[in-house]
Amino acid sequence: MRQLLDSDLELVVESHFIYLPLLFDPEIEKETLVLSRPGRPLKNSGQPESETIIKIEGKHFVKSLSIHSLLENYEAINTYQYERLRNDCLRKYQLTHGVDDIFQDGTLRTILFQVMPYFIRKNRGLQRKKLSDEEILDLIDQHFNIPRKYHEEAKVFRDLKPLKRILRDLEDQNPIWRPPGNGLFSARKLREWFHEAIHAKILASEHDRLTKALKVRRRFSRAKPEHIAVLLYVADTGGMELDGFGFTRNKSYKREYLVYKRTGEYVLKDYYARSYLFPDCRVAVSTYAPFRPFVMEKYKHPFLLGHKSGQEICMRNFEPPEQLTAKNVIRTLEEGLTALRYGYDARRRNGYHSLDKTWVHVPTIEFDEYRIEQA
């Protein structure tokens, strides 16, 4: 079907059927003498008893596909192309899952507007006022070059008229698509009509989502366009980082995230007061249990069992929280950061490993390459 609509052929629509050009040879010509009615006018051709072969402008066309059947079964006929059309349609009206997430996902709102302001401060100094939701969005807009397409999408998002019209038509039970009418069509013209009809059918099947989307957009109708653009950008990318704080969408769990804060470089001392410069790493906590701090990169430290990524930080007296709240995320990140930067006791050599080598014959991880040589 796709090859047909992408072709340069002329097609005929009559009585809700698509007719294809008939290629002639002697045998086919004999059959057409029996089956066709030459010169049959199109203006009276909308009757139920449509012909198998018709002749228009000296050309023969053969009956092939029912338009109704094609539309109703297109998802099964060509699943891949249907999904492409569906995604295009949902993007056109800003109805993709990503957009739904940013405005309806409580976890993401908690990260953006409750956890992030704790770690990101606009003013450096004695007065470090917590940022409001609007100030957070302004700060993101200032630090990131939000692509123009998100500003264009924000205009679509704030325009409620198209969704209202679609919902009104559905609730009034108006036809969701209109037939193209009888006559000759170029394949390109018929393809445009077909895509519009598929879009109408998809929107009808998304009635609940349309209703929810309209409710959300009414709530955000007075928001600044640039703030909407920032939120759409975050929904699409699934994460961001600012001043060492960031989050990223977890690919394995829907609507779950990894929230992290960078340690920056820091120095630890061994039993002999020698200094070791540790590289930066991201200490993270997931938004699903267990709520324990871990390192995202391949990393080694006295409080990490191995030298790999995704390791939980060893903290003897730490009790992980039982539920996800902004306060618990902040506390868990700070506990992890404090453990790595300040928790190692050179005298007690606490942790899985010691910075300096000991005489105990136990396989351990070495940190010699981090040692700062004295001048």
**Cα torsion 86, 87, 90, 95: sign:** positive
- Among the residue ranges 125-129, 228-232, 341-345, 360-364, the one predicted with the least confidence is 125-129
Q: Give a yes or no: residue 35 inside a domain.
A: yes
What was the pLDDT predicted at 44?
A: 41
Tell me, yes or no, whether 120 and 216 share the same domain: yes
Question: Taking all residues of the chain, what is their mean pLDDT, rounded to a whole number?
Answer: 82
According to DSSP, the β-strands at 17-21 and 10-14 are: antiparallel
Tell me, yes or no, whether 78 and 224 share the same domain: yes
Kindly tell me if the per-residue pLDDT of 73 is higher than 60.
yes
E-strand ranges in 5-101 read 10-14, 17-21, 53-56, 59-66
- Among the residue ranges 24-28, 206-210, 238-242, the one predicted with the least confidence is 24-28
Tell me, yes or no, whether 166 and 218 share the same domain: yes
Residue 249 vs residue 289, higher pLDDT: 249
Mean pLDDT, range 148-154, rounded to an integer: 90
- For residue 45, give its domain range: 2-65
Specify the pTM: 0.66
**Residue 268, strand partner residues:** 276
What was the pLDDT predicted at 274?
A: 93
- pLDDT tens digits for range 82-133: 888 888 877 777 665 555 556 667 888 899 999 999 998 755 554 556 788 8
Q: Give a yes or no: residue 224 inside a domain.
A: yes
Tell me, yes or no, whether 32 and 86 share the same domain: no
Tell me, yes or no, whether 47 and 102 share the same domain: no
Q: Give a yes or no: residue 242 inside a domain.
A: no
What was the pLDDT predicted at 126?
A: 47
- pLDDT tens digits for range 290-309: 899 999 999 999 999 999 99
d(C-alpha 200, C-alpha 198), whole Å: 5
Count how many domains the chain has. 3
- pLDDT tens digits for range 34-47: 555 554 444 444 44
3-state secondary structure of 249: strand
d(C-alpha 283, C-alpha 13), whole Å: 64
Tell me, yes or no, whether 77 and 197 share the same domain: yes
Task: State which of 176, 207, 237 marks the end of a domain.
Answer: 237
Tell me, yes or no, whether 51 and 81 share the same domain: no
Q: Give a yes or no: residue 105 inside a domain.
A: yes
Taking the CA atoms of residue 82, residue 86, residue 87 and residue 90 in that order, the dihedral angle to the nearest 10 degrees is 180
- Among the residue ranges 16-20, 103-107, 113-117, 357-361, the one predicted with the least confidence is 357-361
Q: Give a yes or no: residue 244 inside a domain.
A: no
Tell me, yes or no, whether 189 and 297 share the same domain: no
